[in-house]
Structure 1
Amino acid sequence: MLKEAIYHRPKNNYAYGYDKKTLHIRLQTKKEDVETVNLIYGDPYDWQEDKWINKLIPMQKSGSDELFDYWFGVVEPPFRRMRYGFKISSGSEVIYYTERGFFKEAPNDTAYYYNFPFLNEADIFAAPKWVKDTVWYQIFPERFANGDTSNDPDGTLPWGSEEPTPTNFFGGDFQGVIDHLDHLVDLGVNGIYFTPIFKAHSNHKYDTIDYLEIDPQFGDKATFKKLVSACHKRGIKVMLDAVFNHSGFYFPPFQDVLENEANSPYRDWFHLREFPIKTEPIPNYDTFAFVGSMPKLNTENQEVKDYLLKVARYWVEEFDIDGWRLDVANEIDHAFWRDFRKVVREVKPDVYILGEIWHDSMPWLQGDQFDAVMNYPFTNGAIEFFAKENLTASAFADTITKVIHAYPSNVNEVAFNLLDSHDTPRILTLADNNTAKVKLMFLFQLSYTGSPCLYYGDEIGLTGGQDPGCRKCMVWDEKEQDRELFTYLKTLITLRKMEPAFGTHASFQFLYTDDDTNTVVYEKQTNDQRLIFILNNNNQAQTIDLSHLSLPTGTNLLTGEITHPNKPYSIEPYDFIIVKV
């Protein structure tokens, strides 16, 4: 065995409390190098006749990528504490792996073993339970629907009359959302994520002027309360976007700094490097990227912190919102986010806290800061495989397996899984307008573990390239909508709600990939149900023989036809079969 590839640490995604009774333990080994792994565990204080009393349970291989196998075990230590190690076997070779290294015989001294000191309930990652069953719908308010022309900004264009630009306005507002809530109910979504709604200069609103006021082009606070109430009556949660990393250029404290420079009482609200202040060509103060109109806020300053935490509390307390999406969350200090969580959870204990982070986010997902991050590693894998076909089937499975094992299971269950957004090209455009590819992406997204999010308009075939192209006006004329795609997506959402193994309350594992045919097979499983998903991501029909998997007889979930495990599956180009066992 290659010992250098064997890895465990008694923390984070390798050892964690899943609930108040249960621990999850993971181990990494070299791919196809190990035949069996057993978890050795016992209470550190349970000794009889100078011998430590322990148990041995088998661990299951939970997935593999191009380099490693991952092993998974579930244990309920009777006194919520344990010492543990691993018995690893390959052929005639057996080794014991503990915190102190590798041994040919199992050490009898518990000091050699990994330690999980105590399963404190307060330390368990706990996200709102409702998120597991939520299908989100992202709305860019300026482009969804214009329901009240009286609040249109100067120069508002007729709806959809031109291509979107960084500076044009079409008058989308809250009333427009209220007018079209039945569309969302019909589709089956039960959560709305709004990009920023606060007073700002731009059409995207990520340059806040006043964090405590609604932008006038969207309506007023009474209309927003009406919108939240209308959503809640329909069983739809509401999540707002908080831009706390930076303000806008016209944020009054920043305007004061520009005017008074070193004498401004707000000089420490920002990261100013020198005076006089220069905004162009490269600002001499910290900003979002190098955008001079988005000066970075100093969240370590107590006045700034108090102000932003007041904002966080206000919108939950006064408007009963259900979640916060946090823009550029990775550039703000961890201490701020810990305080943020305490403040909003004091008002509403089941508020969903979602951070915009595009990379490995374990430091933010330990139960003291965020409930989830925007799962762009998942997004990238799905886009590269289904839309662009830049990944082989096995490389795609490797990518997703890495994503799964990067976080604890209870983190994965509430991950925010998106395919596109206001920051990326739309999936239909990425797929070269091939709707069949988009359907496969939707199937994978909605049958994957976590909380999926749809970007407005994708359900009716809206196209668009990189920002600002991805921010087109929603098309409301049904004759110009892809209604077949809408119906298909509605069916998938219904299956996610009706079939226990389709959604988040089931394990996920790849069973088979074929790079020649670009075929992937994965299973979702609960204690009572098993679903096998067979996807043909290929422009040619395929006959797929899965007899080597020893699958039981089942039924086609969509047609009800009996499937026989020893009979090959015939699948059309860019199509799929779901077998229900």
Structure 2
Amino acid sequence: MPRTAARTLSAGLALAVLAAACAPAPAPTPAPPTATPYPVWQPAPTPVPDLITPQWGREMLLYLVFVRSFADSDGDGIGDLRGLTDRLDYLNDGDPQTTTDLGVNALWLMPIFAAASYHGYDTVDHFRVNPDYGTREDLITLVQECHRRGIRVLLDYVMGAVSDQHPYFRDAYGNPASPYADWFTWYDEAHTRYKAFANIPSVPTPNGDNPAVQEYALQVARYWLDLDGDGDYTNGIDGLRCDWALAQSHAFWQRLRSELKALNPDLLLLGEVWSTAQDIGTYYRGQFDSTFDFPLYYVLAADPLATGRGVLNLVDPPGFVHGALLQRERYYSAGAQSVIFLNNHDTNRVMSSVQGDEGLARLAATLLFTLPGSPLVYYGEEIGMSGVKGNGQPYWDEYRREPMDWYAAESGPGMTTWFRPADRNNAANDGVSVEEQTNDPASLLAHYRRLIRLRQNWPTLSLGSYERVTVSEGPRSVYSYLRQDAAAQLLVVLNFSRESTAATLDLGATSLPPGPWTATDLLSGAALPSLAGGAYRLELPPLSGLVLHLERF
């Protein structure tokens, strides 16, 4: 290129650049607004679990049945396994779309082995079904029908005591040369004084430290886990409720867990450790998947012989419940599961505990099904059956284990009649029967059905975190807590007062992410005032419970 042309081009470019620099800049293309993401709930860090509870055990809705009292198939007045099988649709019909069944997914049978007494806790033969209840084949049918409906089955595993009519004890009694002499603990050389449950002579305690006794106990467990004898331990009994666990050493339970979990890792071992939280905590690692929450029970009802006491009767503030839950965190292994209950076969029934006040019974049930842990329902609890321990003249716990009330008249197909003294707790036409309540949407039975459906439909209540919510303004009678996971935020508010109550909840001090939130009561479907976080004020009717689903809007 000629130098003159180059100079001319260069000058032109310089002028163009100068002109561009002096010209007003074009308006920039607006960028789309950046959405501000909502904060999401983050679980608090938790330790690596010391034990792994089967998933079904963490989502368990357990129903406790005394077979003798539940349903009679042959008209002899005594409940049996076939009668229970006939009534399974009442417990769970296998169809999640229906609402006429109770909806439980696990069944605990009080002892079904051949025994000397009506209750079955004094076993005579661990390898035979109680003839009053039927046969092994009847049990196989029951388990198959349960599994078809999605119900797991737990047997009462009673190895801490046997009957004094058990053949091994009869051989050892007064016979130091017996091959079973060291199966029991003797207090004299003649082998006539011995260790027994609660010092009751009719129920001697086997020596669980004896390897032969341990092997016998394992043989019993293996026998019932493989019901049909085909060598498959995964399609029979699903779990063992280990009675009076304090009677055996930790080494015994560790061996039981090690050997049975090798046969079926999905087996649930549920321990009855009737003691303090500190003591219960020592039975988790390498032993039980779950235990009964006796510390919580004592907060709720005060005593298994009591009526009119504890949190359930508005005597103690509901904040005591939180204290019981804190004991779990302090003493239990990471991943430990608890079975929570209002009553069982060894306590006064909850309706008697609250002295017949159905409002208190409903509030207690709402608490039960929204707390962390696996809820237990004792047969007849859902219809409000009463039961208080007798004075032993001549009956004791029979009054707590009365026949299941199927009919208003206490008479009809399947109704058991084995225990009907004139002073029994439950009577005809008292409003307490399945027949009288099943079609009434306002009944206690309907309330239990709704709560169990709620627990099924919202896994957050089974698996989510628990966090107490401070009541910044209001009486101590209001107890509130959050149940949260990545899928849902649920706010539970309970009013343990007979008066309408205003309360302000301090949600700003919790892990609940900032709102705004809508609030819908999952029990009634009612919409409550929305909230933005921070202070949330509510007006609560007497003895009321809310389970609020919080959704952003």
Place the TM-score, normalised by the shorter chain, in its bin. 0.7 to 0.9
Check whether the contact 2:282–2:332 (CA below 8 A) recurs between aligned residues.
no
- CA distance in 1: counterparts of 2:260 and 2:506, whole angstroms: 53
State the match for 1:498 in structure 2.
457
TM-score (normalised: structure 2): 0.75
Summarize the alignment of residues 34-73 of structure 1 with structure 2, pairs less than 5 Å apart: 73=45
- CA distance in 2: counterparts of 1:233 and 1:548, whole angstroms: 44
State the match for 1:251 in structure 2.
166
- Are 1:316 and 2:282 an aligned pair? no
State the match for 2:133 in structure 1.
218
- Are 1:538 and 2:497 an aligned pair? yes
- CA distance in 2: counterparts of 1:528 and 1:327, whole angstroms: 37
Check whether the contact 2:314–2:497 (CA below 8 A) recurs between aligned residues.
no
Check whether the contact 1:200–1:210 (CA below 8 A) recurs between aligned residues.
yes
Check whether the contact 1:386–1:437 (CA below 8 A) recurs between aligned residues.
no
> Of the candidates 427, 431, 434, which is equivalent to residue 354 of structure 2?
431
1:269-317 CA distance string (max 9 Å, x none): 1001214344xxxxx2111111111111012222222211100111001
1:389 to partner: Cα distance:
2.5
1:74 to partner: Cα distance:
4.3
- CA distance in 2: counterparts of 1:311 and 1:408, whole angstroms: 28
Name the stretch that deviates more: 176-185 or 329-338. 329-338
- CA distance in 1: counterparts of 2:501 and 2:281, whole angstroms: 40
CA distance change for structure 1 residues 286 and 515 in 2, over 3 Å: closer, same or farther?
farther
Check whether the contact 2:474–2:501 (CA below 8 A) recurs between aligned residues.
no
State the match for 2:72 in structure 1.
146
- CA distance in 1: counterparts of 2:136 and 2:211, whole angstroms: 28
Check whether the contact 2:311–2:317 (CA below 8 A) recurs between aligned residues.
no
Aligned pair count reads: 438
- CA distance in 2: counterparts of 1:328 and 1:496, whole angstroms: 29
Check whether the contact 2:300–2:321 (CA below 8 A) recurs between aligned residues.
yes
Summarize the alignment of residues 5-24 of structure 1 with structure 2, pairs less than 5 Å apart: none
State the match for 2:78 in structure 1.
171
1:522 to partner: Cα distance:
0.8
State the match for 1:576 in structure 2.
545
AA of the residue aligned to 1:372: S
Q: Secondary structure, in 3 states, of the residue corresponding to 2:335?
A: helix
State the match for 2:293 in structure 1.
375
State the match for 1:474 in structure 2.
404
- CA distance in 2: counterparts of 1:547 and 1:176, whole angstroms: 51
Check whether the contact 2:63–2:376 (CA below 8 A) recurs between aligned residues.
yes
Check whether the contact 1:272–1:285 (CA below 8 A) recurs between aligned residues.
yes
CA distance change for structure 1 residues 73 and 226 in 2, over 3 Å: closer, same or farther?
closer
State the match for 1:459 in structure 2.
382
State the match for 1:112 in structure 2.
none
1:576 to partner: Cα distance:
1.6
State the match for 2:313 in structure 1.
388
AA of the residue aligned to 1:193: W
Q: Secondary structure, in 3 states, of the residue corresponding to 2:114?
A: strand
State the match for 1:304 in structure 2.
213
State the match for 2:284 in structure 1.
365
1:81-122 CA distance string (max 9 Å, x none): xxxxxxxxxxxxxxxxxxxxxxxxxxxxxxxxxxxxxx8xxx
State the match for 2:16 in structure 1.
none
Structure 1 portions without partners, runs of 5+ = 1-59, 63-71, 76-118, 153-169, 279-283
Q: Secondary structure, in 3 states, of the residue corresponding to 1:468?
A: helix
Check whether the contact 2:116–2:124 (CA below 8 A) recurs between aligned residues.
yes
- CA distance in 2: counterparts of 1:373 and 1:275, whole angstroms: 38
AA of the residue aligned to 2:374: S
Name the stretch that deviates more: 290-299 or 513-522. 513-522
State the match for 2:529 in structure 1.
563
- Are 1:340 and 2:256 an aligned pair? yes
- CA distance in 2: counterparts of 1:548 and 1:213, whole angstroms: 56
State, as a whole percentage, how many aligned pairs show the same letter. Answer: 29
State the match for 1:194 in structure 2.
109
1:394 to partner: Cα distance:
3.1
CA distance change for structure 1 residues 547 and 451 in 2, over 3 Å: closer, same or farther?
closer
Summarize the alignment of residues 49-198 of structure 1 with structure 2, pairs less than 5 Å apart: 73-74=45-46, 124-149=50-75, 152=76, 170-185=77-92, 186-198=101-113
State the match for 1:10 in structure 2.
none
Q: Secondary structure, in 3 states, of the residue corresponding to 1:193?
A: strand
Structure 2 portions without partners, runs of 5+ = 1-40, 93-100, 229-235, 303-309, 390-396, 409-430
State the match for 1:94 in structure 2.
none
- CA distance in 2: counterparts of 1:334 and 1:408, whole angstroms: 15
1:239 to partner: Cα distance:
0.2
State the match for 1:28 in structure 2.
none
Name the stretch that deviates more: 446-455 or 201-210. 446-455
CA distance change for structure 1 residues 547 and 274 in 2, over 3 Å: closer, same or farther?
closer
- Are 1:510 and 2:471 an aligned pair? no
- CA distance in 2: counterparts of 1:290 and 1:500, whole angstroms: 44
1:220 to partner: Cα distance:
0.6
State the match for 2:335 in structure 1.
410
AA of the residue aligned to 1:505: L
- CA distance in 1: counterparts of 2:487 and 2:238, whole angstroms: 32
Check whether the contact 2:466–2:484 (CA below 8 A) recurs between aligned residues.
yes
State the match for 1:554 in structure 2.
518
Check whether the contact 2:281–2:333 (CA below 8 A) recurs between aligned residues.
no
Q: Secondary structure, in 3 states, of the residue corresponding to 2:462?
A: coil
- CA distance in 2: counterparts of 1:131 and 1:567, whole angstroms: 35
Look at both structures and tell me which one has the larger radius of gyration over its CA atoms: 2
1:404 to partner: Cα distance:
4.0
CA distance change for structure 1 residues 74 and 251 in 2, over 3 Å: closer, same or farther?
closer
1:423-470 CA distance string (max 9 Å, x none): 000001101111111112111111111211100000111110132321
CA distance change for structure 1 residues 547 and 329 in 2, over 3 Å: closer, same or farther?
closer
AA of the residue aligned to 2:157: A
AA of the residue aligned to 1:448: L
Check whether the contact 1:517–1:542 (CA below 8 A) recurs between aligned residues.
no
1:392-432 CA distance string (max 9 Å, x none): 23333323322344324411xx3111211100000011011
Q: Secondary structure, in 3 states, of the residue corresponding to 1:545?
A: strand
CA distance change for structure 1 residues 465 and 441 in 2, over 3 Å: closer, same or farther?
same
Check whether the contact 1:427–1:458 (CA below 8 A) recurs between aligned residues.
yes
Higher strand share: 1
- CA distance in 1: counterparts of 2:294 and 2:490, whole angstroms: 25
State the match for 1:102 in structure 2.
none
- CA distance in 1: counterparts of 2:46 and 2:201, whole angstroms: 51
Check whether the contact 1:135–1:452 (CA below 8 A) recurs between aligned residues.
yes
1:236 to partner: Cα distance:
0.4
AA of the residue aligned to 2:314: E
- CA distance in 1: counterparts of 2:167 and 2:478, whole angstroms: 56
Check whether the contact 1:326–1:355 (CA below 8 A) recurs between aligned residues.
yes
AA of the residue aligned to 2:66: F
